[in-house]
Homo-oligomer: A and B are copies of this chain.
């Protein structure tokens, strides 16, 4: 049977198991054996695909990032051709918020990794590039809104972009901590966009609220 396996697929399978463990019991519960058990494979196999634990962690981190990026591009693509800057920004940022259980799990993992990379700075290089790109994009959208007359022209797009992205990140953190419900976060995000770009078109308000799962029986 050997030789017929897709290397990347196996690695992703293992990384998925890792994230399930991390989301449920925290990053410190991630061990070779736990991950292997969660994935339903032997710990030898995990070692076969990741020579070291750190390699596994780094790969898993990349998977989380790719997944959230895919989510965003998918949501943005669903908007159709050139949506308004406001719609675009709101869709992107709301998509990045941990509003349902899937994104909450991812968010927990991302948060844990954040704390992880805060001590291991050499892993964080990819993250830096990503935020820089995001910031540039957001700033561009704000500029576009200003050019269209939809936004206060006096605000510096660069600083506003930093603040806007920070709002999203902060809301995510507080959501993960359970400090307030998703609606509060979305309301605050909309308020921020109002502040930046002027009042919203009413049809836009309150959309994209995720379905609340009923409490577990």
Contacts and interface: CB of A to CB of B under 8 A. Distances in A.
B177 A163 contact: no
Interface string A109-131: 00110111111110010011001
Interface in A152-166: 152, 155-156, 159-160, 162-163, 165-166
Interface in A123-179: 124, 127-128, 131-132, 152, 155-156, 159-160, 162-163, 165-171, 173-174, 176-179
Interface in A170-196: 170-171, 173-174, 176-180, 184-185, 187-192, 194-196
Interface of A: 24-28, 108, 111-112, 114-121, 124, 127-128, 131-132, 152, 155-156, 159-160, 162-163, 165-171, 173-174, 176-180, 184-185, 187-192, 194-196
